[in-house]
Amino acid sequence: MLDHPNADYRILTAADVPAYLAGLPAIAGRLGGQPADWTCQDVADGNLNSVFLVDGPAGGLCVKQALPYVRVAGESWPMDVSRAFFEFSYGQRIAPFVGRLAPAIHHFDAAQFIIVMEKLSPHIILRRAMIAGEHHPRVPEDVADYVAAASFYTSDLAAPFESKAADQAIFARNTALQRISVDLVFTDPYAVSERNRITAPLEAWAASFRADIDLKAAVTRARLTYLTRAQSLLHGDLHSGSIMVTQAETRVIDGEFALVGPSGFDIGNFIAHYVMAWYAKPFHESGATSVGVFRDHLAADIVLFWDRFEARFLSHWRGFAGAADGLPASHFSGPAGAARAETLRRAYVADLFRDALMFMACKIIRRVLGFAQIADFLVITDEAVRALPQAAALAFARSVLLYPERYGDIAAIVAALPRFDAAGLDPAVTRGE
Amino acid sequence: MLDHPNADYRILTAADVPAYLAGLPAIAGRLGGQPADWTCQDVADGNLNSVFLVDGPAGGLCVKQALPYVRVAGESWPMDVSRAFFEFSYGQRIAPFVGRLAPAIHHFDAAQFIIVMEKLSPHIILRRAMIAGEHHPRVPEDVADYVAAASFYTSDLAAPFESKAADQAIFARNTALQRISVDLVFTDPYAVSERNRITAPLEAWAASFRADIDLKAAVTRARLTYLTRAQSLLHGDLHSGSIMVTQAETRVIDGEFALVGPSGFDIGNFIAHYVMAWYAKPFHESGATSVGVFRDHLAADIVLFWDRFEARFLSHWRGFAGAADGLPASHFSGPAGAARAETLRRAYVADLFRDALMFMACKIIRRVLGFAQIADFLVITDEAVRALPQAAALAFARSVLLYPERYGDIAAIVAALPRFDAAGLDPAVTRGE
Ligand SMILES: Nc1ncnc2c1ncn2[C@@H]1O[C@H](COP(=O)(O)OP(=O)(O)O)[C@@H](O)[C@H]1O
Ligand SMILES: Nc1ncnc2c1ncn2[C@@H]1O[C@H](COP(=O)(O)OP(=O)(O)O)[C@@H](O)[C@H]1O
């Protein structure tokens, strides 16, 4: 049944794509020429979907189809194809706020669960760039702008509450992918699960996390926050594998995990992948710069990202003059009102920071002890070596979850990174740090 | 257009009801006899809808129709009739958890926006009983059982998150009535609004609330909590006017404000109306008992209600053995796990208590300074007199919003009631109390 979401649905192969696009003349016009002139390449490297890049004499297109199962796992793990609808709906909803920071979406096929969008070229996935030691200095600020605009303008701070309620009515149905987040991020890494893929030398770390009642209590708070704090429309999977870059441009792709949830979730996820890149870097290329210099870039980027997010979010809010229910202007008029409104804004952003750190830590742990591992670590082929930066990342994440009061600002986060660099394979050694 | 939600819709009068029910033979069977044997009475005393009570030889029915406007305001205030759909959906959803604490629902007419339900007889509205000095000792515990079951079983604590997500997909569309709550509860009372109906001698209180930046900051937090804390399916309007009672039975009616929101909202609303009844009581009948004794009943009922809610909520949770995402059993096995799980449960309930007090205070203020006034005060015809218990209620509510740390348990709430009894018409006198 899942193989046939509807009578018309069929799984596209690279050979089918030109004929498919020929059936959409308005869109295929962007390719120029005739179907015979088009080349099509299967580039799926994500976990879930088919992705084809098509080139014609006049330009390129990207064709993404949701499969009725998880691509990397195969047909044994069925997955609702309507995730393509949610990715499309998310893209439509945030386009006015993020502009060129997301690819242009040209078409959605509701029967085939296909999105046709702008082909990003010569953009590459940020994660690969990081692993290769290529630094992209625009990324932190571009992604900060993206998250600040999306999380402000889809919240109750920037609109009558009916606007977010309409998003909830739609995205509350995106449960198939949220089930993945709930299980793989917040639950499996702290339990014995056959889905977990643990680097063998990390077995002691995994066992200590499974036994760590304080850590699991902190994760319970994080999971409940994820499930109940309905602040804004989120991307839901905003890591370095969902960002495509050139030196001049940044694009956020792959919004199929979209949900109305805690704004700190996207923020924390993005930072988590910079942290993991920082720990992995000594085992990678570092390009033209030394490892130390590249790490300094990454640490500086984390600070830049948060500072820019905070500044942009506050400036959207301060400049907002429309009707909104979050902080009604009528309650905060006059100089005293303006001063208090500013206090409330800063308190709101401080809450986002705390949430972001909590989610950052959960995202690090799930990438080390859970199902969906990341290339930053996997490219280190020797498990005995790979376990070292992974252990450091775990030790750092645990510290943030257990001792949040030590991490009061973004400077404290980057200052802490080197402290866990040599955490090692015995989880007890750094337990109180 | 609003007068005609669809081509079939027409506003029912008492004269139309027998013919209408005759068209639903399965339901009309409960009345017995023939339409000619049925009597129909228009009993609408709520703010929004038409309500008819129909009696036949074998039994009675209640027929409630949503009008395309607010009944008390008339056609100048249009109101989406789909609120009947949400009231029906809410009733269906909570029926398995609350059983006989809600009326049985027999039929929903999606074209006429009519609910046909059990006629409650000889039940009367709790508010009227309170004003008349009739004490109904079962009510606090029955309503506590209702709220505990509804708020636990519709939360992520008692089900996979998909269950609450399905409720969100439905109830996020109930925006027409949530707009009323957002405006009338959280916004209008702190601003100049032509909808506010302020007892003349309270003008100084109203002005002081409009100018009180600390109070409005606290209300901002309450409003944001209402808008973003998606914990469970709520009744949304759970006050003494939505509860029908006999000495033996309690029934909660009128769930048309249903939303997925903070569980503390229903709790706080219920307590708010006991508090207002307490302040109003010296100006009412007190039945067979003295005013002092009746007040002691009300204060004891507030404590009973909270204690019972807490006990029931915790016992549902402790006894829960199904699959749920809020607090996965796999993370808290063994004696240490069980102990920590209990700590987390108590912390959760402590958060509900804090939220409940915040909402209680907001609900008191909106009933004194806002549009929808309550009979408890309105039956005191002399405004100069009415203003006194209203001022006391305002002073109490302000204290709870400004100094929440003084109200750490339910005993502190009832102990504080007499402190504000003589608050008087000058809001400055009790400002720091
Ligand atoms: N618009 C695009 N232009 C060019 N390449 C793209 C585009 N969208 C996706 N890709 C490529 O396809 C890969 C998988 O896409 P992604 O959206 O991450 O899929 P998944 O949902 O399966 O994770 C990306 O890593 C990237 O290499
Ligand atoms: N099931 C019922 N049985 C008997 N009387 C009812 C029933 N439901 C409502 N009523 C009466 O009708 C009045 C208005 O009903 P309510 O549901 O509160 O309407 P509204 O939504 O307009 O506030 C109630 O105060 C009560 O007197």
Cβ of residue A84 lying under 6 Å from some atom of ligand 1: no
CA-nearest residue of chain B to A186?
B325
Which of chain B's residues have a Cβ under 8 Å away from the Cβ of A325?
182, 186-187, 223, 227
Q: How far apart are CA B239 and CA A397, in angstroms?
A: 45
Whether chain A has a CB inside 8 Å of the CB on B335: the answer is no
Give the pLDDT of residue B208: 98
Q: Which residue has the tokens 């609003």?
A: B2
Query: Interface pTM (ipTM) of the complex?
Result: 0.96
Q: How far apart are CA A320 and CA A160, in angstroms?
A: 13
Residues B322 and B363 in one domain: yes
Whether chain B has a CB inside 8 Å of the CB on A77: the answer is no
Burial of A148 (0-12, 13-18, 19+ CB in 10 A): buried
Give the pLDDT of residue A406: 98
Cβ of residue A235 lying under 6 Å from some atom of ligand 1: no
Cβ of residue A67 lying under 6 Å from some atom of ligand 1: no
B104 Cα–ligand 2 center, Å: 13
Give the pLDDT of residue A6: 83
- Given a cut of 50, is residue B246 above it in pLDDT? yes
Domain boundary pick from A101, A118, A135: A118
Whether chain A has a CB inside 8 Å of the CB on B381: the answer is no
* Count of structural domains within chain A: 2
With CB atoms and an 8 Å threshold, state whether B332 touches A213: yes
Q: How far is A160 from chain B (nearest CA, A)?
A: 9
Cβ of residue B298 lying under 6 Å from some atom of ligand 2: no
CATH number at residue B206: 3.90.1200.10
Q: How far is A263 from chain B (nearest CA, A)?
A: 11
Taking all residues of chain B, what is their mean pLDDT, rounded to a whole number?
A: 96
B44 Cα–ligand 2 center, Å: 7
Q: How far apart are CA A145 and CA B248, in angstroms?
A: 61
Q: How far is B7 from chain A (nearest CA, A)?
A: 26
- Residue B202 domain-assigned (yes or no): yes
With CB atoms and an 8 Å threshold, state whether B161 touches A325: no
Cβ of residue B159 lying under 6 Å from some atom of ligand 2: no
- Residue A6 domain-assigned (yes or no): no
Interaxial angle between packed helices B383-402 and B213-228, expressed in degrees from 0 to 180 and rounded to the nearest 10: 70
pTM of the predicted protein model? 0.97
> What residues in chain A have per-residue pLDDT under 50?
1-2
A376 Cα–ligand 1 center, Å: 18
Whether chain A has a CB inside 8 Å of the CB on B166: the answer is yes
B303 Cα–ligand 2 center, Å: 27
Residues B76 and B145 in one domain: no
Which of chain B's residues have a Cβ under 8 Å away from the Cβ of A178?
161, 165
With CB atoms and an 8 Å threshold, state whether B325 touches A169: no
Span B68-116, pLDDT tens digits: 998 888 888 899 999 999 999 999 999 999 999 999 999 999 999 999 9
Give the pLDDT of residue B45: 79
Sign, Cα dihedral of B352, B91, B176, A150: positive
Cβ of residue B48 lying under 6 Å from some atom of ligand 2: yes
Residues A39 and A144 in one domain: no
Residues A84 and A196 in one domain: no
- Cα-based distances in Å from A266 to A92, A176, A252, A269, A305: 18, 19, 12, 5, 12
Residues B283 and B257 in one domain: yes
Residues B333 and B405 in one domain: yes
Cβ of residue A43 lying under 6 Å from some atom of ligand 1: yes
Which of chain B's residues have a Cβ under 8 Å away from the Cβ of A217?
340, 343-344
With CB atoms and an 8 Å threshold, state whether B172 touches A169: yes
> What domain range includes position A85?
17-118
User: For the sheet containing B105-109, what is the strand order?
Assistant: B39-42, B50-55, B60-65, B114-118, B105-109
pLDDT band at B47 (very low <50, low <70, confident <90, very high): confident
Please identify, by atom number, the ligand 1 atom nearest to the C-alpha of residue A123: 4
- Given a cut of 60, is residue B3 above it in pLDDT? no
- Given a cut of 70, is residue B299 above it in pLDDT? yes
- Residue B7 domain-assigned (yes or no): no
Whether chain B has a CB inside 8 Å of the CB on A338: the answer is no
Domain boundary pick from A118, A147, A166: A118
Q: How far is B358 from chain A (nearest CA, A)?
A: 17
Residues B259 and B389 in one domain: yes
- Residue A212 domain-assigned (yes or no): yes
A148 Cα–ligand 2 center, Å: 46
Taking all residues of chain A, what is their mean pLDDT, rounded to a whole number?
A: 96
Give the pLDDT of residue B1: 39
Residues B247 and B330 in one domain: yes
Which of chain B's residues have a Cβ under 8 Å away from the Cβ of A175?
161-162, 165
- Residue B314 domain-assigned (yes or no): yes
- Given a cut of 90, is residue B6 above it in pLDDT? no
- Residue B10 domain-assigned (yes or no): no
Which of chain B's residues have a Cβ under 8 Å away from the Cβ of A263?
none
HEC profile for chain B?
CCCCCCCCCCCCCCCCHHHHHHCCHHHHCCCCCCHHHCEEEECCCCCCCEEEEEECCCCEEEEEECCCEECCCEEEEECCCCHHHHHHHHHHHHHHHHHHHCCCEEEEECCCCEEEEECCCCCEEHHHHHHCCCCCCCHHHHHHHHHHHHHHHCCCCCCCHHHHHHHHHHHCCCHHHHHHHHHHHHCHHHCCCCCCCCCHHHHHHHHHHHHCHHHHHHHHHHHHHHHHECCEEECCCCCHHHEEECCCCEEECCCCCCEEECCHHHHHHHHHHHHHHHHHHHHCCCCCCCHHHHHHHHHHHHHHHHHHHHHHHHHHHHHCCCCCCCCCHHHCCHHHHHHHHHHHHHHHHHHHHHHHHHHHHHHHHHHHHCCCCCHHHHCCCCHHHHHHHHHHHHHHHHHHHHCHHHCCCHHHHHHHHHHHCCCCCCCCCCCCC
Domain boundary pick from A60, A86, A118: A118
Span B148-200, pLDDT tens digits: 999 999 999 999 999 999 999 999 999 999 999 999 999 999 999 999 999 99
CATH number at residue A23: 3.30.200.20
Write the residue with the smallest CA distance to atom 1 of ligand 1.
A119
CA-nearest residue of chain A to B343?
A217
Residues A105 and A129 in one domain: no
Residues B113 and B128 in one domain: no
Q: How far is A415 from chain B (nearest CA, A)?
A: 31
Whether chain A has a CB inside 8 Å of the CB on B182: the answer is yes
B145 Cα–ligand 2 center, Å: 21
Backbone angles phi, psi at A241, to 5 degrees: -85, -5
- Given a cut of 80, is residue B66 above it in pLDDT? yes
Cβ of residue B253 lying under 6 Å from some atom of ligand 2: yes
- Residue A136 domain-assigned (yes or no): yes
Which of chain A's residues have a Cβ under 8 Å away from the Cβ of B219?
331
Cβ of residue B53 lying under 6 Å from some atom of ligand 2: yes
Q: How far is B155 from chain A (nearest CA, A)?
A: 9
B227 Cα–ligand 2 center, Å: 27
Please identify, by atom number, the ligand 1 atom nearest to the C-alpha of residue A253: 17
Q: How far apart are CA A305 and CA A328, in angstroms?
A: 29
Which of chain A's residues have a Cβ under 8 Å away from the Cβ of B330?
187, 191
Which of chain B's residues have a Cβ under 8 Å away from the Cβ of A328?
187, 191
Over range B228-243, report the average pLDDT: 98
Residues A330 and A296 in one domain: yes
B209 Cα–ligand 1 center, Å: 54
Show which of residues 211-230 on chain A sit within 8 Å of chain B, judged by CB atoms: 213, 216-217, 219-220, 223-224, 227-230
Q: How far is A204 from chain B (nearest CA, A)?
A: 17
- Residue B8 domain-assigned (yes or no): no
Which of chain A's residues have a Cβ under 8 Å away from the Cβ of B213?
332, 336-337, 340
Residues B150 and B50 in one domain: no
